[in-house]
Structure 1
Amino acid sequence: MPWHQAKTHGKGEELVICLHGLWRSLWAMDPLAKQCIHSGFSCINLPYPSFRNTLEQMVERLDLLIQQEAPKYSKIHLLTHSLGGVIARRYLDACGHDKCSKVLMIAPPLRGSMIVDWLGHSPLLRVLGPAGDFLSTANMGNECSVISQDVESAVIMGNKVKIPLFQHVIEGENDGIVRVEAGMIEGLDDFKIVHADHTFITSHPEVLVSTDRFLRTGKL
């Protein structure tokens, strides 16, 4: 559908590509995308079928977009939520581009999901699609232990639980879906925790301010 196609907004010389999370849509990243445009960046809020594609397919979609857009901009930045951070991190390892400058990942399960571990071989795991095959803590512990040093990188995690549905599953400080520890990987340039839950963290005022600051200065 037309609203599922990537479109560029803004007239900045630097491009920000937004990647939403699992079972979400580009609307989830809309507050961040608008913040980027207001700050003078161009922005593409990229939709993708997160519940149908494999990780490799999602990385390929991002790679094709960056190859297509790179000649038009001086720099490209990646701004992600949840699963989008896993895609961005894998992209930087598997593909990368010399114009990729900054990556900010919000609530990313970079060290895996305890919810996926808990679901195990349950039929409910199928609801997650292919993501259920690679988001376990065992798989992600090896997959995302280090971030590329070719870019400036930062992570923002939430620690507010609005709906304690999975609290008997998730150990330690968390946002109701992803534990804070899951975003702590080696090589990050900055790391921050905000009092926000997983679903609405992308519209949290402190996150919007920190995102703008990071894209402009490299610090949250």
Structure 2
Amino acid sequence: MVELERKLARSGFLAVNITYPSRRDEIEFLAEEAIGRGLSACDEQQVSKVHFVTHSLGGILVRQYLESETLPQLGRVVMLGPPNQGTALVDRMRRVPGWALLGPAADVLGTGPDSICSKLGPVQFELGVIAGDVNVNPLAALFLEGKNDSVVTVESTRVVGMDEHLVLPVMHTIMMRNNHLIDQTIHYLKTGNFIPQ
């Protein structure tokens, strides 16, 4: 997210890049802790509007946080490769020895009724979602039906209430470095729309 952070700053945004220990804690705790730290950093700078740009699990953390918290200064949100409907990789891989090493957050990102993704409601904020459709992982190709980014299917990135959805030729783990994706992200934050393809 460092390159994205730099380009956001060059475009006039105060960018706060928050990392979190995704393998250590439950999603509810991660959401409160990570989003809370980000908001504190924004408060220190006295910003009047807070936008979020998230990658993967980060989108679920924002949804989790906004389910229970009101954020009057909330602007727009861009989610990159979010498993908004879970991912079938979790459904298949949770039976593999060593799966527990990925932590409690990963365990609830499947597609079943026990998934946090199934329990979160429709989004109630301005949201643009960018999905990738480049899969270079042959194992993921066995488990993911339809176009996917090697981790999340394009269809699974969708969520009820989103305003815009865009598919780009990017892979999950490196999508946030793609220049066109970054340009689309900045355009959405500024206008509420992606650049027409």
Q: TM-score, normalised by structure 2?
A: 0.90
The RMSD of aligned alpha carbons is: 1.6
Q: Which residue of structure 2 aligns with residue 92 of structure 1? A: 66
SS of 1:49 mapped into structure 2:
coil
Tell me by how many angstroms 1:141 deviates.
4.7
Q: Which residue of structure 2 aligns with residue 69 of structure 1? A: 42
Q: Which residue of structure 2 aligns with residue 183 of structure 1? A: 157
Distance of 1:121 and 1:207 partners within structure 2: 34
Distance of 1:96 and 1:137 partners within structure 2: 27
Q: What is the correspondence of 1:57-206 to structure 2 with a 5 Å cutoff?
A: 57-65=29-37, 66-67=39-40, 69-70=42-43, 72-138=46-112, 139-148=115-124, 151-206=125-180
Tell me by how many angstroms 1:57 deviates.
1.2
> Which amino acid counterpart does residue 122 of structure 2 have in structure 1?
V
Q: Which region of structure 1 is more displaced relative to structure 2, 162-171 or 45-54? A: 162-171
The 1:120–1:47 alpha-carbon spacing in structure 2 relative to 1, beyond 3 Å, is: closer
The 1:43–1:68 alpha-carbon spacing in structure 2 relative to 1, beyond 3 Å, is: closer
SS of 1:130 mapped into structure 2:
helix
Q: TM-score, normalised by structure 1?
A: 0.81
Tell me by how many angstroms 1:206 deviates.
1.5
Determine if contact 1:111/1:144 at 8 Å carries over to the other structure: no
Tell me by how many angstroms 1:99 deviates.
0.6
Structure with the bigger percentage of strand? 1
Determine if contact 1:110/1:145 at 8 Å carries over to the other structure: no
Q: Which residue of structure 1 aligns with residue 26 of structure 2? A: 54
Gaps of at least 5 residues in structure 1 are 1-28
Distance of 1:197 and 1:63 partners within structure 2: 25
Q: Which region of structure 1 is more displaced relative to structure 2, 155-164 or 62-71? A: 62-71
Gaps of at least 5 residues in structure 2 are none
Q: Which residue of structure 1 aligns with residue 11 of structure 2? A: 39
SS of 2:16 mapped into structure 1:
strand
Distance of 2:96 and 2:137 partners within structure 1: 22
Tell me by how many angstroms 1:128 deviates.
1.5
